[in-house]
Amino acid sequence: MLVPLLLGRGHHVKYDLPQAAATAPHLRTRIAAPLGPHPLLVEALYARLAEAGWQASDATHPGSGIVLAAAGSRDPESAADTRRTAALLSERLGGVPVVPAYASAASPTVPEALRALAARGRHRTAVASYFTAPGRFAAQSAAAAPRIAAAPLGTHPALARLLLLRYDQALASRSMTSRHQLAAA
């Protein structure tokens, strides 16, 4: 069972992992769905923002805005997943605008998204790190933050719960497939 620590339906999920699994046909491999979008990710994003200094009063301030910093992909479904997560985070924040931005392969970049928010009068901004772990993209995105930069999702308990959920879903799917194959035989 493979549970990818990937947040959307990009190239790795669609091509790289299935190809890698196909190179070992003697192993019966099931690949779980990517982690996002999912409310548990939003829970972890919100908690990381709060840990970094985002306060309830920020949500009611008319100049507030969030940039959801993601890795980026040329795959339109991956971008759609990131936009969906941004919309879910905006709902969780009581309607604060959340703009998805990317560290590579897509636009806008984090600095471009921050400038776009500022052009709309949103100067009380934060960067939510939509990365599973620290690294170059997370550091580069955080460095662009003028005020608050949240840590990557990392070991947040909501992320751990989501990993277990994706594992269970893939296992249940495997069981359903096996039952259908037995019924067809």
Tokens in use for 119? 């052009």
Q: What is the rounded distance in angstroms from the CA atom of residue 83 to the CA atom of residue 79?
A: 6
Query: Considering the entire predicted model, what is its pTM?
Result: 0.91
Tens digit of pLDDT for each residue in 99-153?
A: 999 999 999 999 999 999 999 999 999 999 999 999 999 999 999 999 999 999 9
Grade residue 182 by pLDDT with cuts at 50, 70 and 90.
Answer: very low
Q: Which helix (H) or strand (E) holds 66?
A: strand 64-70
Grade residue 179 by pLDDT with cuts at 50, 70 and 90.
Answer: very low
Please give the C-alpha separations between residue 169 and each of 2, 85, 97, in angstroms, as whole numbers. Answer: 12, 20, 32
Domain ranges of the chain: 37-154
Q: When comparing pLDDT for 180 and 92, which is higher?
A: 92
Pick the CATH number of 37-154 from 3.40.50.1400, 3.90.1150.200, 3.30.479.10, 3.40.50.10860: 3.40.50.1400
Q: What is the rounded distance in angstroms from the CA atom of residue 35 to the CA atom of residue 165?
A: 9
Closest CA to 17 of 156, 181, 166: 166
